[in-house]
Amino acid sequence: MSAPPGLAVEHLDAWYGAAQVLYDVTFTVGRGEVVALMGRNGAGKSTTMKAVMGLLARRRGVVRLNGRDISGLKPFEIARLGMGYTPEDRRIFSELTVLENLDAGRQPPRHFADGTPAPLWTPETLFRLFPNLAELRDRPGGRMSGGEQQMLTIARTLMGNPLVVLLDEPSEGIAPVIVEQIADTIVELKKRGLSILLSEQNAAFAQIVSDRAYMLEKGQIRWAGTMAELADNTDVQRNYLTL
Amino acid sequence: MTSLVVTSLSKNFGAVRAVDNVSFSIAGGEFLALIGPNGAGKSTCFNMINGQLAPDGGTVLFDGRGIAGLPPREICRRGIARTFQVAATFGSMTVAENVQMALIAHTREIYRWWRRAASYHRPRALDLLRQVGMQDAADRPCSELAYGDVKRVELAIALASDPQLLLMDEPTAGMAPGERNDLIRLVKALVIERGVSVLFTEHSMDVVFAFADRIVVMARGRIIADGDAKSVRGDPLVQQAYFGSGRTFERAGGVS
Amino acid sequence: MNWEGLAFQAVDGLASASGLFFVAAGLSLIFGVTRIINIAHGSLYMLGTYIAVSLASAIGGPLGFWGGVAATAIIVGVIGALIEIVLLRRIYSAPELFQLLATFALLLVINDAALWLWGPQDLLGPRAPGLRGSLEILGRHMPSYDAFLIVIAPVVLCVLHIVFVRSRFGRLVRAATEDRDMLGALGVNQSVLFTAVFALGAFLAGLGGALQMPREPASLGTDLTVITDAFVVVVVGGMGSIVGSYVAAVIIAEVKALCIGIGLVALGGVSVNFSKFTLIAEFLVMAVVLVARPQGLLGRPQIAVRGEAALEAPIRSASRTLTVFGIAVLVILAALPFLARSSPYTLVLGVDVLIAVLFATSLHFIMGPGGMHSFGHAAYFGLGAYGAALAVRWFAAPMGLALAAAPVAAALGALLFGWFAVRLSGVYLAMLTLAFAQIIWSIIYQWQDLTGGSNGVLGIWPNPPFDRLPVFFLLSLALVAAGVVLMRRILLAPFGYAMRAGRDSPLRAEAIGIDVKKVHWLAFAVAGTVCGVAGGIFAFAKGSISPETISIDHSVNGLVMVLLGGLGTLSGPIVGASVFAILQDFVMQETEYWHALLGGIILVLVLAFPSGLVGGFLRIAARWRRP
């Protein structure tokens, strides 16, 4: 029997108030796999992540984390089972310093479904991954640049030693040099066996770090395939990505 | 005839320049889309025109008169109506009463305190509801409607003040895929009939390209393109703003 | 004026600031994390004093005192945790109004529990062992214990600061104050955090209460006075800011001390006693801060949305059945003087019910359709009552004129206070209206020469033929019916629709050209005016009035009547007020523990019948109709 995928989403519907925003979304992310959710602004990428994390009050469908059904759980319970979430707007605690922000994300060590230990993160190991942060450790979160905040929000999520990471638009509004660093980080996390779901508008960025992609449009999945298939398929690119 | 002229509009939030020296104009009867990636400054720009935010710099002229910094209700009285990204209606009123409320406000009768509001402007309200296809729901509570229908009611509310300019913030957000084109087609038909100009922000590109007369593209607080669908689609700056150039990743070896 | 005296008062002010700081810090902390204003926080302080006095006298000696203080803080902390687990957890997602009411109910219950446990007499505590002496400051003697209090508040502030910076708990509390949902997504269980924060807040209140024991006796009135002071402090300092609480506590205490220090001053030939203006001075500071910097001195702006209306059915004009029923009730009431000739008490009760109906309907007018949750509606009732009574007392006005003075006085008050109130929303509005009621109360209470102070105004009797109860009853009926019909018409007219529009969606209302603030301001004034009529009738019905008419108790009775009837219908307040007034009449005489009963009723309503009696009835009726 093969191990269940890190993240499996089946027939997910979601609403903002009375407005339905996701329709029958189904996808998987395997262990050590990076999957990109792609599509234009407003296609439903961030909403999918929020629904998976339990942050949308009204949702329907099944979400499994390492085979375990987490559909009805609260966000903190989902996080404690090993799901890490970095929101698009980063949501750094602006009054807390870098170290304090990291501490707020701290959780106990964790194991993969097969019993092997998951990567264990401490502020020191994270500072090796993000050297810029090391110099800012006592800086309040509110006084950092967008790129620095982006690194901090990823680092804060890793402090929870997650098995699955949801990265919402990690490259948005960030200087190219930091985008590269974040790409390196994603590759590094993949190597360590984490399952990563990435939402991305930046096709170039997605090409580099991802294994597979799902194309979202108007809250529905319209196409699924490997990155190589996507690169060859100009129709899909034109229909769902370019103007 | 020019309806709205925006000149050097700017707004800062702390150290962030959310809207940076933005200028554009809308001609009478024009259907203009304002688009751009998340965080481009569309909403901020939009909220300065509708009066929800006061600009830090620049002017907004409507029919030759400055409206920047006026409260929303004044802007409405000058002939600019709007719809919201999350449709805003009055949940404790019926569909017809929602439109009647807007008509009462438009005719400056809100301080009347004896005759029943339900008897004010009812035929006119029903006529507006007929135009948006909601006449059958006139006496239903607005809170019971499906979201797509709420959006139509909101359109009728906006049209009640007989505007010359209609501001629509993501008119199709939150609507089922099939309903989107219907709504925009309806808006387009109504505004052509009335000679109203429309400024709208939108994420749904097929809607934008199918219906907009002209497209203004913003990125990082500035306007990077202004033209018809074809010229905007082919603009390399626009492509880059939306999707990145890919140059960043040459070192990593993968280029799309 | 004597500078040394002033300086001495200033130092003394610092000592009273410490007690205030403990309560306010707890209140602010709890609000920051849970977004609940705990009106029962003053009760925790009060419990602190009672428990500490009991422990100190039971054990005795330094251990009894100092050990008792420590034990008290812990006991009250545990009580706080229990309250959070048993009650608050159920209402975190309830509308703000219900949260306020639930904690208010708690205040009532705790007050009666204290009455039952400790009796109605004030309890004097022992003096602090080791700190019985005094220090000489500026040529005067200051109790050593006061000096200790001056020092202890900043010490606790520092300890709290260290906890918040150094401990993981403190960091999580700070993070939760900023963005509790994100903290949840990082795996932090909010329930545990909330319980801990509530316990800490209660611990501080208990500590504050216990430490006051040598200065003030344990008294049943403390809960309300302390919570009003603490509100002011928290609003001035900024919700959620502990340092702000300290700064504001010092400012408020100093302003009060200054008023006392200035004392009697001759201003342009009139001698003014500033020491009577302490409460007013305190609320003036708050009003200035609220208008100039609504988030408080050190607070961060809240995203405050005025009590977003729960989905409410459209108001329909009365069906034929309802109109017929209403007319029938009116006819029966008009015939009551003849029907009830054998029991005149029926008419006395009838007048009480009518007054309650007008009071509740006017409150519902701004609370329901206006969406402004006034916690101080008794202010306008009291202004009306005093307007009428003082017109009789000072100008020997005939009843007709005095009854006309009532709504005028109330309208002026409502216009003034309403101007401030509509600039705020949610809990801030509730607190401001409560504070305004307290200002009116304190002016009337303290301005003895004009108002008779605590004795009130006596001998306000109706002129013939209204001195006969049946005639007076009919007059009341006519006035109340006119008031109710007027408000109903207004609510069904464009103005009432504009009120609801501003409540349902302020953004949309502004976008179609409605000046929401102005509409709500006028609505506030209309409600106040009509309420003033109720106050006027009340003055003549009772023949005497006292500051009791403006008490917070009275404001809360109004809230309970409205809630009992339900917010969503126009007939709700009429039914609610009638049921409440009759219930009060029968039950209040039977039990010493009316407050606890009232609190119990509120809790049942909030937890089980959120749409009130009429709403519940309509729901059942609807179920019957469509099986």
Tell me the sheet residues that pair with A14. A22, A59
A149 at C interface, C-beta within 8 A: no
Tens digits of per-residue pLDDT, C97-136? Answer: 788 888 989 999 999 999 999 999 999 988 888 888 888 7
Kindly report the CA angle at B137 between B134 and B139, in degrees rounded to 5? 130
Other Cβ atoms less than 10 A from the Cβ of C586: the count is 10
Note the pLDDT of residue C571: 87
Q: Do A19 and B254 touch (CB under 8 A)?
A: no
Decide if pLDDT at A1 tops 60. Answer: no
3-state secondary structure of C624: helix
Q: How far apart are CA A81 and CA A66, in angstroms?
A: 9
With CB atoms and an 8 Å threshold, state whether C494 touches B113. Answer: yes
The verdict on B90 touching C (C-beta cutoff 8 Å) is: yes
Higher per-residue confidence, A177 vs C180: C180
d(CA B56, CA B18): 11
Compute the residue count for chain B: 256
Q: What is the pLDDT of residues C241-257, one digit of tens each?
A: 889 999 999 999 898 88
Closest CA to B97 of C494, A19, C20: C494
B222 and B143 both lie in a single domain:
no
What's the whole-number mean pLDDT along residues C489-493?
A: 95
Q: Are the Cβ atoms of A204 and B249 closer than 8 angstroms?
A: yes
* Closest CB to C494 among B81, B92, B109: B109
- Compute the average pLDDT of residues B234-248: 67
Please indicate, yes or no, whether residues B123 and B42 belong to a single structural domain of this protein. no
**A179 → chain B, closest CA residue:** B248
Whole-number pLDDT of residue C57:
92
Residues B74 and B177 in one domain: yes
Q: Which chains border A (3 or more CB–CB pairs < 8 Å)?
A: B, C
Q: Are B254 and B200 found together in one domain?
A: yes
- How many residues would you count in chain C? 627
Q: Looking at the domain assignment, is residue B84 inside a domain?
A: no
Count: domains in chain B = 2
Question: For residue C310, is pLDDT > 50?
Answer: no
Give residue C37's pLDDT band: very low, low, confident or very high (50, 70, 90): confident
From B161, B179, B207, the end of a domain falls on B161
Q: Judge if B70 and B11 occupy the same domain.
A: yes
Say if residue B173 is in the same domain as residue B106: no
Place of tokens 């609505």: C523
The single-letter code of the amino acid at A81 is L
Predicted local confidence at residue B23, as pLDDT: 95
Residues A55 and A48: their CA atoms lie apart, in Å, by 10
Helix (H, G, I), strand (E, B) or coil at A108: coil
Q: Are residues B52 and B179 in the same domain?
A: yes
**Apex CA C483: angle with CA C480 and CA C486, to 5°?**
150
Q: CA of B117: how far to CAs of B140, B145, C309, C495, C571, in Å?
A: 16, 22, 20, 8, 19
Q: Could you give all domains of chain C from N- to C-terminal order, each with its CATH number?
A: 3-292 (1.10.3470), 320-625 (1.10.3470)
Give whole-number Cα distances, C76 to B198, C113, C367, in Å.
62, 14, 34
Write the residue in A18, A41, A204 that is nearest to B246 by C-beta: A204
Which one-letter amino acid corresponds to residue B50? N
Cβ-based neighbours of B204, under 8 Å, separated by 6 or more: A40, A42, A218, B172, B180
Q: Which amino acid is at C200?
A: L
- B/e letters for B132-168, b = 16+ CB within 10 Å, e = fewer, are bebbebbebbbbbbebbbbbbbbbbbbbbbebbbbbb
Quick check: A16 contacting B, CB < 8 Å? yes
- For A44-76, the pLDDT digits (tens) are 899 999 999 999 888 999 999 999 999 989 999
User: Is A173 in Cβ contact with B39 (below 8 Å)?
Assistant: yes
* Domain end marker among B161, B183, B198: B161
Find the mean pLDDT for residues C173-199: 91
Compute the nearest-CA separation of C249 from chain B (Å).
31
**Could you report the per-residue pLDDT of A136-181, keeping only the tens digit for each?**
999 998 888 778 899 999 999 999 999 999 999 888 767 777 888 8
d(CA A21, CA B147): 11
Residue where the block lists tokens 């209700």: B73
Q: Are C540 and C471 in contact (CB under 8 A)?
A: no
Rounded Cα–Cα distance for residues C318 and C324 (Å): 9
Residue A242: per-residue pLDDT: 67
CB C491 within 8 A of CB B75: no
Is some CB atom of chain A closer than 8 A to the CB atom of B178?
no
Give phi and psi for C44, each to the nearest 5: -65, -40
What is the residue-averaged pLDDT of chain C?
A: 88
Q: Give tens-digit pLDDT for B148-203.
A: 899 999 999 999 999 999 999 988 877 766 778 888 999 999 888 999 999 999 87
Q: pLDDT grade, residue B238 (50/70/90)? A: confident
Q: What is the pLDDT of residue B249?
A: 40
Q: Are residues B60 and B172 in the same domain?
A: yes
pLDDT of residue C221: 86
User: With bands split at pLDDT 50, 70 and 90, how would you rate the model's confidence at A119?
Assistant: very high
Dmax over Cα atoms in chain A, in whole Å? 50
Q: How many CB atoms lie within 10 A of CB C156?
A: 20
Give the pLDDT confidence score for residue A2 in this predicted structure.
Answer: 66
B155 touches chain C (CB under 8 A): no
Beta bridge pairs of residue C32: none
Query: Which CATH number characterizes residue B7's domain?
Result: 3.40.50.300
CB contact under 8 A, A220 and B238: no
pLDDT tops 50 at residue B108: yes
Contact residues for B97 (Cβ-Cβ < 8 A; gap 6+): B90, B117, B118, B142, C314, C497
Secondary structure (DSSP) of C596-608:
HHHHHHHHHHHHH
Question: Which residues, in sequence order, are bridge partners of residue B214?
Answer: B32
Q: Tell me what ipTM this predicted complex has.
A: 0.92
Q: Which helix (H) or strand (E) holds B218?
A: strand B214-219
Instruction: Note the CATH architecture for domain A7-240.
Output: 3-Layer(aba) Sandwich (3.40)
Residue B6: what pLDDT?
95
Query: Would you say residue B246 has pLDDT above 50?
Result: no
Residues B153 and B167 in one domain: no
Please provide residue C591's backbone torsions phi and psi, each rounded to the nearest 5 degrees: -125, 150
pTM for the structure as a whole: 0.82
* Confidence tier at C308 by pLDDT (50, 70, 90): very low
Residue A94 tokens read as 């602006």
Whether the bond between B72 and the residue before it is cis, its omega within 30 degrees of 0, is no
Residue C203 three-state SS: helix
Q: Where are the domains of chain A?
A: 7-240
- Interhelix angle C399-421/C378-395, rounded to 10 degrees, is 140
Q: Which domain holds residue B212?
A: 1-79+163-256
Angle between helices C41-59 and C68-86 (to 10 degrees): 140
Q: For residue C287, what pLDDT is reported?
A: 77
Report chain B residues whose CB lies below 8 A from the CB of A218: 177, 180, 204
User: CB-based contacts of C339: which residues, under 8 Å, 6+ apart?
Assistant: C332
Residue-level pLDDT at C98: 83
Pairing mode, if any, of strands A164-168 and A83-86?
parallel
pLDDT tier at C302 (50, 70, 90 boundaries)? low
Mean pLDDT for chain A? 90
Counting Cα atoms < 13 Å in the Cβ hemisphere of A178 gives: 19
Last residue of a domain, one of B138, B161, B184: B161
Instruction: Assess whether B107 and B219 both reside in one domain.
Output: no
pLDDT at residue number B177: 67
Given a cut of 70, is residue C311 above it in pLDDT? no
Spatial separation of the C-alpha atoms in residues C135 and C141, rounded to whole Å? 6
Inform me whether the pLDDT recorded for B54 exceeds 50: yes
Element (H, E) at A224: strand A220-226
Report the gap between the CA of C179 and the closest CA in chain A (Å). Answer: 7
Contacts of A234 (CB under 8 A, 6+ apart): none
- Cα B175 vs. chain centroid, distance in angstroms? 15
User: Which positions in chain A touch B245 (Cβ < 8 Å)?
Assistant: 204
- Whose structure tokens read 């102070």? C453
Shortest distance, CA C356 to any CA of chain B (angstroms): 24
d(CA C104, CA B219) in angstroms, rounded, equals 51
Same domain, B73 and B184: yes
Q: Which residues of A touch C172 (CB under 8 A)?
A: 104
